[in-house]
Amino acid sequence: MERIIESALEAGAALGQPVAIKPTDDTYAVVPGGYALTSLEKYKPAPDRKKGVITLDDAESFIQYFNLHATEQSQIYGKVNPPSFVGVINDHGVNDAGWRDHLAKYDCPFTAEWVEWSRSDKKIMQQAEFAEFIERNLPDIVEPVGADMLEISRSLQAKKKVSFASGIRLANGQTELTYEEDIQGTAAKGKLQIPEIFKIGIKVIEGGEAYAVECRLRYRINEASLVMWYELVRPHKVIEDAVADLWALIANQTCRSVLRGQI
């Protein structure tokens, strides 16, 4: 009897005919040991269904792709930190399962300006190094005005060979640094004022809106030598605000409620 069944299986495998099983309409084939089941999809004019993962570089492209392929079951998932959105085109429905393998991804890349400022956040720099950093990124500074920050930067570069003695906070919100400079053998005292807080105006996410970000200017005098740095004020909230704007834009343009999570 076993031999008869085995012979029948071999005959069926030789025929290579798939069989649709009702009521599911799924197609199956009996494959005994030693045989392999090979899909013929690649020989068709087009695939049986859409699938694949595409990564988009900005919100506009993500929205356009999602809207082009979305069905009633399509769903979008989002994360705040690190920011990202994933559109699952063939997601599960209320009553039907989906393959969940046709995805649109948008990883919300940060701008070069945000990367530059966040990378140097709280980084202690020598006086001249800090002056060069400020001058290099001067276009991003919106308060005080660029001319004032440029003057401060050049003053720091010019005074890099002086001996700093102390610093006091003034009523106008600036800090006054006192220094001594040797001019032709004579010690001359001077003062240099720097802002306690300055603001930068930059885009955080590529293709997104620009935000005003406060920076606290810090300094320390070690044995008459001045070191400086800055601290971004609550940078995580800046990212949250930028992502919230994208969240609202994507939800509005796709007519979907974005779920907080990931796949």
pLDDT, one tens digit per residue, over 211-242 is: 999 999 988 888 778 888 999 999 999 999 99
Q: Domains of the chain: which residue ranges?
A: 1-38, 48-109+236-263, 112-232
> What is the pTM (predicted TM-score) of this model?
0.76
Nearest-angstrom CA–CA distance, 162 and 260: 55
pLDDT, one tens digit per residue, over 163-217 is: 776 677 666 667 787 777 766 545 567 777 888 899 999 999 998 889 999 999 9
pLDDT, one tens digit per residue, over 111-148 is: 999 999 999 999 999 888 988 999 999 999 999 887 78
